[in-house]
Amino acid sequence: MRFNRRQVLAAMGASTLVGLPRPSFAAIELTLGDAKITTLSDGNLVLPMEFLLGNLPATDAAPVLAQYGITGDTVEPPCNLTLLQDGTNTVLFDAGSGSGFMPTAGKILDALGAVGLGADDITHVLFTHAHPDHLWGVLDDFDDPVFANASYMIGQAEWDYWTDPATVDSIGAERASFAVGAARRLAAIEDQIEFISGGQEVLPGILAHDTPGHTPGHIAFEVRHGTEAALVVGDAIGNGHLAFARPDWPSGSDQDAETGIATRLRLLDQLATDQMAMVGFHLPEGGLGRVERDGDAYRFVTEV
């Protein structure tokens, strides 16, 4: 297994960088046998702190967050999309935010261009879940598919949840727009979607795992080539601080907090035990690393 961290700024041109809050689309690479995983930046989100904390008292979380330099009323999680090239398929895990969610996100086409690819090169898009920063990038500003040559895969449970007309009324007012946006975008690509479930090898070398909690049908993907593997966890492990230091605490970003805790604890234990590489959508430094135990807690290590 070979790990490489490289900057790709030169390929983008200086004008691309003007005004960006994080002036880098660093490509982080991991070689698995004959395949290559590359994590690409879709930018970052800017969220109120309460979205992260939910009902967790800020006084409890503040000392942990301070260790990671996180203070104030907002958090700015990075958004890392995972690209797999195996010689046959060019697979993108999630589609990013597009232009309709936040101005700081939706940069995936720039990131692809920086590694010499375009949207038409993507053969498959595999969704971990259908929150805006993972799904809304499938359509452009004219509601045309961005990845015109791609097939799409999503968990059956995730599809059922977001296409249920009752979801917009049950998800809560602060996330009602998530439901409306997901339903519209999923309807637009319905003819190209294949439904999948945990335990299924969805493409050669890619195994789906049910990881509910963040959303009802969240799926993680194990990419395995030869004896080497990496787990694309999506938002099942949703940040690089509280999720590792206090995985037993509820996360305000999880739609089902208790199920999210159980899933997170299971994944962290598995990843630490197996020392499998992982990619987290909102984890730092490109999101690619591994998990180590730290007493009763865990830590994220970016050197694989």
Tell me how crowded residue 165 is: count the other CB atoms within 10 A of its CB: 8
Q: For residue 92, what are its two tokens? A: 């993108």
Contact (CB, 8 A) for 123 and 110: no
Q: How confident is the model at residue 304 (pLDDT cuts 50, 70, 90)?
A: low
Contact (CB, 8 A) for 101 and 272: no
For residue 301, the Cα-to-chain-centroid distance in whole angstroms is: 17
Helix (H) or strand (E) holding 111: helix 108-114
Closest CA to 195 of 147, 231, 159: 159
- Give the pLDDT of residue 26: 57
Q: For residue 11, what are its two tokens? A: 């390929």
Burial of 211 (0-12, 13-18, 19+ CB in 10 A): buried
| Cα(114)–Cα(118) distance, integer angstroms | 9
More confident residue, 132 or 21: 132
Residue pointed to by tokens 């797999």: 84
DSSP code, position 139 = B
Contact (CB, 8 A) for 81 and 92: yes
CA angle, 124 as apex, 120 and 129 as ends, to 5°?
Answer: 120
- Is pLDDT at 301 greater than 60 in this prediction? yes
- Is pLDDT at 5 greater than 90 in this prediction? no
Q: For residue 280, what are its two tokens? A: 């987290």
Spatial neighbors of 243 by CB under 8 A, at least 6 apart, are 237, 251, 264
Summarize pLDDT for 33-82 with one digit per residue, the tens.
999 999 999 999 999 998 889 888 888 899 999 998 898 899 999 999 99
Residue 116 phi, psi dihedral angles, 5° rounding: 80, 20
Alpha-carbon torsion, ordered 166, 171, 177, 180, to 10 deg? -20
- Is pLDDT at 3 greater than 60 in this prediction? no
CA angle, 53 as apex, 162 and 131 as ends, to 5°?
Answer: 20
Fold of 2-301: Metallo-beta-lactamase; Chain A (3.60.15)
For residue 15, the Cα-to-chain-centroid distance in whole angstroms is: 27
Summarize pLDDT for 233-250 with one digit per residue, the tens.
999 999 999 999 999 999
- Give the pLDDT of residue 2: 56
Considering just the CA atoms, what is the radius of gyration of the chain in Å? 18
13 CB-side CA count, 13 A = 4
For residue 144, the Cα-to-chain-centroid distance in whole angstroms is: 23
